Structures are given as structure tokens and as C-alpha cells.
Amino acid sequence: MKRFLFTLLISAVFVFAQSGFSFTSSGIHVPGARTLSPGDLFILGGFEMASSNKPASLEGYLVDENGNQRKLTPSPSNTVLGFIGYGILDFLDVGLNINVHYDGDAGGTRLKGLGFGDLGLMVKAQLPNQSLRDLFNFATGLEVFIPSGTNEKGLRPRHLWYIHKGGYTNAYSAADFAIAGTLYMTINIHRNLNWNNYAGVLRTIENGENIFIWGTGLNIFPYEWVSLVLETSGETWIRAKDIFPGFLNDQLRFSPGLKVRLPKFTTLSINADLGMDLFRKRKLRHGHAITTKNKGHEYSYTVPGSSPITASIKLSRTFDLSGRIEDFKKKMDACPKSGLTFKENKYRCAPDDDNDGIANDLDKCPDTPEEVLIDENGCPFDHDNDGIPDYKDKCPQTKEGYPVDENGCIRDDDNDGIPNELDKCPDSEPGEEVNERGCILDTDEDGVPNVLDSCPNTPAGLTVNKYGCFLDKDEDGVPDEWDKCPESAPKEIVNMYGCPIDSDEDGIPDFMDKCINTPLGVKVDSIGCRIDQDLDGVFDEEDKCPDTPENAPVDNKGCPLDSDKDGIFDYLDNCPNTLERTEVDANGCPIRDKLNLDKIARRITFLKGTDKPMNSSYTALSDIVSIMRHNKHIAIEIQCSVKPGEALVPQSLSEARATVIYEFLINKGIKEERLKATGFGTQLPADTRGHTKLNPVGVRLLPYNIKEE
């Protein structure tokens, strides 16, 4: 086992599970196997941010040397990436890496802050396997870490080898020299698909820890300006047991990303790293227990093997210090366009026998004469697509699809613009407008040529007159063939069938209908309006009493009202304000005068021009008190008016008289809520119930029911 690991360590090339440690034209975390060309200087800078809604430790707190818990909150964890590489020989390059890290809130400790990472030095060699390099590329290399990083800052260890068994752990540094070697391989499956792989071993010198580092990833469209990268990578301690749990818990991440190739050999990379804790519940047994030290103080907590989500953006550029790329570009710019790769052509121009700038492998017209304009396929332009190239075509604007002669022109004996092969009317007169068949144009196909057609858009199938217009006997705008009512009156509004429009379907055409929104199914008169024979305001189809006398007040069903419910309809009732349950005569008046409020009201009189009641009025007022005491559910509205000329201000006097009656009743023990007093000047209003037989001037008493106590 030791011999195998030693052999692997010596023969492998170092490739990190972190961006930028080794140059690649395809991968992000998993680089390709090719090295930089001699004289190429590669520079990369980037920013990486770990994101989580959980604190850095799995417990959610730190424990200091005194056993005190210091609560943590989710805090930022960022890294600024820096790498520079240089190609020395055809298959050998070197590189240098240094990172700057920052971790946020650390439970009130001094672990929060900025610090440098370890310095990394790299030597990378590509195996010159010329016979297989089109399909496979192999490389080896060696990486050395110098413990130059900050030791007492940060919460999240950036690499697995920073976590020491039985010792202190640092977030930004291993605090130990380390050496690593890795073997990596690129398989060129297709021009649009590369598969990068690496595997290696890292060993810390002082602590003697061995870590297996690995990765694999696909690069889709690697030579296009935008490529898609899908990768998996990880770091795992080499142990004799717990191999599978270690593989999942030490460090394992999935990395989708995009690479955008910008001008001047510049590349923009954007990716996300998805750790295992994104796909499972955070548990202490999945993490690593560590102890950190700062200013003599110790802190213990557990960290996950991988951050749930890490996002990064990187910008890199390659500088050609030798000038080799520019010389090569100038040479290839002078070459004809070819589908062959430079490698297949041994970096020479592809053959172009007709010297038209299109190499033979793409040239669909290999015998094109010189100085003839060609398209991207190497063929002469034929803009009218008639089969005759432009340089031979004497009629370069022939309509597409027309047969032509050897000069690219149509044969047209009657000069109507339609070739003889397509002309169905070969004897057209000069100047006549013709259709695509060469016959006189009749757009609506009604048998009348356009030049004679006054109605050029006649619908198909209609009979027309000599002017090409359809026949319409009643001139209603509907052709006779479609007209269901061919005798429509002049200017009558009709529907699409030529019949008069009856919008409400009451049998009266709209032009005669005075009530155009009549409900469906009701009877109407000759002008389309609903019928109300007794003129009571309720239409016949809703009238339950269709013979009500004219002007008689009715309810919403058309039946006469009996407002005081004494059995006498209002239009026959001479005493419309009779109290309930009062015996009345045939005219609706109480048999007992003391229960007749109308007669009682007429007995209330005042001295002329004053609000002082006549002595005879007090008997009537007492009768009102008696009625209200025996009818607790009755309230009375007192309405007063004065005779014209009786007062300078009739309104004030009428209000004063109503108030006198109101106060008299109050003083007799009648509650205020049962009374209402109003003055109306010289004219009492019509009763709201529609009664017309009430006294217009003087005093009126209107009873109404109230809720019984």
C-alpha cells in the first residue's frame, strides 16, 4: 500500500479542488490536462462567497476554555482568489497562488476578520503523447504549500488539511508545510464535449496527514464563446476504515458553472458549489470537531465538511509575451475558410483549387471563375434563385419560381410578365392587368374584370350585374340570395338576413319601437311599450288588480292601498288616519268621533295671528291625550299651517303652533319619543300615503306605529 501511494505521489500532478491553482481552458474546479504554451502569462482574480442561513458551527455556538458558550449567528465567509502562471517549455509551466480570506461574526471573539492564505507554488508537466493527444491528454505536477497564512483569524477552514487531528486548527492556513501530487487526464470525446479528471494525494510534513484529492467534470461547448461546466470534486482523509462516511462528510461538492470567453484571451467564469449539507439535514456526526486559538484563548466547535452553497466569479486573461499567437493569427487570417482544424492541417492553410477563399472541403462549387462574387459555400451568387448565377444572368430580378432560358430571362410571347410555360391566356392584349396565370385580373372572381368592376370585393358565389355589384332589390345592403325579407321598407334597419331588427324580440321592429328594452315575453302595444290598462303604474302582466280606478293609490302588485288597515281602500277612505282596531263606517271614519283624529285635528284652532289655542281646543287636545294613553304603540306627527295673510312670517307661526300642541302633550305625560312637531307655512303637504281628502290648512295629526315597550 505504501509503495502504491509513493508511486502515485511521484507520478501525479497537483490539481486542487479550488479554482485557479492550475490553468485550464475548460474546467473551473477540475482543470484540463494541457499546460500553458511557452511565453504565455496567465493571470486570474476572483471572489468567492459562502452562503448559509446557519452559523459556521453545527452547534450554533463556540465553547471557550472555561466552558462558556458563545452564541454564533450566520455570518459572511468570503475569499479573494489570486493566481499567476507562466509557460516555460512546450509541456511545462509554473504557477503561484495566494488568497485573502474574511470571516464575519465570531460570537464576540477576535476570530472575526481578514487574513492571508498559504502561498502555493506549482510545477506542471504535460506528457507529450503525440499519437493519442487528439483523444487523450495526460499531465503530472507537484505543488508545495508554504505556511504563510494568518493563523488566528476565521471560523471556516478553507481546506481539509487545515483540520489537524489532536491539534489546533486554523481557518486560513495549515500552519504546516505540505506537498501534493496528482495525475489528471482530459478525454476529448467530441469537439463540443471534454471530460476532465484528476486524482492525487496531499501530505502535511509535520503532522503527517494524508489526504486524497479528486475531481471529475464535463465541459460542454468548450470552444464556443459560452460553455457549460458540470463538475464534482472533493477532499478525503486516507483511512483504513470509515471510507464511505469520510467520502461524504470530509468534503464533497457539486459545481455547475458557465465560462464566457471575451475578447483578447479573457475569460469570465461564474459558478456555484453545492455541498452535501444542502441535500441533507445538518448533524454533528457529519462534521469535524476542531479547536482554534486566538491570543491564548481556545475555542471548540464543529464545522461541516463543505459549505451548503458557495458562489464565485473569476476573471482571467492570457498574455502572449512571445508574440507567437499574433504571428499564428496573421498566418491563419490569410488562409481560406476551412472546416478542417489547424491540427489536422498541420498548421498549414487548407487547399483551395479555385482560389475563391473557400477551402476545398467546404467549397460546393470548386470550379468558380476568379473575381466572381461568391457566398459562404463558395458558389456564385444567384440573387433571384433562377439557377443562373448573377455573372451570367441578363435578367437578374426574375420572379422566383419562373422558368427561364439560358440567359436567366423568361419566355413571354404576349409580354404580360407571365412566362409562356405558366400562361393560361397566351393572347393577352398589351397593357391588360393579368393574374399569376396570365389571364385578365378578376380579383373577386365574379366574371367582371377589375377594370370594369365597380364592386371589386363581391363575396364569392353571388349574382352580379354588369358593373360587378351584387343584386339587392329592396336596397337594404343584403344580397338577394341571402335576403330572407326581400320586401324591406326603404332605409329600414335590417340584420344580416335582410329582416328588420327587433332587439328586444317583442314583435315591433326597432325603427317603430319606442321602448326598445322591453323584457322578453311581455305584452306590448303598437309602439313596443308594455301595457298598463288601468293606468296605475303597474304593468298588466304584474298587476294582480287590473281594474283599479284611475289615480287610486296602489301597492307594487297594482292593488288599492288600505294604509290604516280599516278595511276601506285609501281612494274611498274619508278618514285615512284611523287608528288600528277602530270600528269605522262605510267611508272609513270612526263611528266614535273621539277616535277620529281628523275630526279632532279640525277642532284645534288658534286666536288669529297667534300661537294661543282657543279655549274650545283644549277638549280636542285632551281627547288626543286619551287616545295616546290607551294606545301605547301609537306615535303622532303634529303638522300645522296658517292661513295666507295671517302672519308676516307664516313658517315661524306654523312652527310655534305645532310646538304648543307638542308641549301640551308632553306636560300631560306623553313621552317625547312618541311625538314629532313640524310647521309648514301656509300649505300642508300631501300625505305620503297619497291621500287627497285631508284638510290642506290648519292642524293635521298623522299616527304611526312604534315598537311597544
Q: Check if the beta carbon of residue 286 is closer than 8 Å to that of residue 276.
A: yes
- Written out in words, the top-level CATH class of the domain with range 593-705 is alpha beta
- Diameter of the chain measured on Cα atoms: 141
Q: What are phi and psi of 270, to 5 degrees?
A: -130, 130
- Nearest CA among 230, 173, 210 for reference residue 29: 230
CA distances from 324 to 224, 329, 603 (A): 22, 9, 130
- Grid coordinates representing 550 are 284611475
Exposure string for 42-77, b = 16+ CB within 10 A, e = fewer: bbbebebebebeebbbbbbebbeeeeeebebeebeb
- Give residue-wise pLDDT tens across range 373-384: 888 888 888 888
DSSP 93: E
Pairing state between β 675-679 and 634-640: parallel
Q: Check if the beta carbon of residue 120 is closer than 8 Å to that of residue 144.
A: yes
Q: Which fold has domain 2-325?
A: Porin (2.40.160)
Under-50 pLDDT residues of the chain: 1-23, 342-346, 688-693, 708-709
Q: What is the pLDDT of residue 601?
A: 87
Total residue count of the chain as it appears in this document:
709
Residue ranges of alpha helices (H) inside 527-613 are 597-602
Q: How far is the C-alpha of 165 from the C-alpha of 162, rounded, in Å? A: 10
Q: Check if the beta carbon of residue 305 is closer than 8 Å to that of residue 284.
A: no
Q: What are phi and psi of 269, to 5 degrees?
A: -115, 135
DSSP string computed for 18-69? STTSS--SS-SSS--SPPPPTTEEEEEEEEEEEE-SS-SSSSSEEEETTS-E
- Nearest CA among 338, 380, 343 for reference residue 359: 338
- Nearest CA among 285, 278, 270, 281 for reference residue 307: 278
Q: How far is the C-alpha of 94 from the C-alpha of 180, rounded, in Å? A: 15
- Give residue-wise pLDDT tens across range 595-643: 788 888 888 999 998 999 999 899 888 888 888 888 888 889 999 999 9
DSSP 528: S
DSSP string computed for 157-217? -SSGGGS-TTS---SS--SS-EEEEEEEEEEEEETTEEEEEEEEEEEETTT--EEEEEEEE
- Give residue-wise pLDDT tens across range 88-111: 988 889 999 999 999 998 888 999
Exposure string for 18-40, b = 16+ CB within 10 A, e = fewer: bbbbbbbbbbbbbbbbbbbbbeb
Three-point CA angle 588, 591, 597, nearest 5°:
70
Enumerate the domain spans of the chain.
2-325, 442-471, 593-705
- Give residue-wise pLDDT tens across range 192-251: 888 999 999 999 999 888 999 999 999 998 878 899 999 999 999 887 677 778 788 888
Give, for 604, the enclosing helix (H) or strand (E). none
* pTM > 0.75: no
CB count, 10 Å around CB of 616?
A: 10
Pairing state between β 309-320 and 699-705: unpaired
Burial class of residue 659 in the structure, from the number of CB atoms within 10 Å of its CB (0-12 exposed, 13-18 middle, 19+ buried): middle
Q: What is the pLDDT of residue 378?
A: 82
Q: What is the pLDDT of residue 254?
A: 93
Give the list of residues 6+ apart from residue 438 with CB closer than 8 angstroms, or none: 414, 416, 418, 422, 423, 424, 425, 426, 428
DSSP 595: G
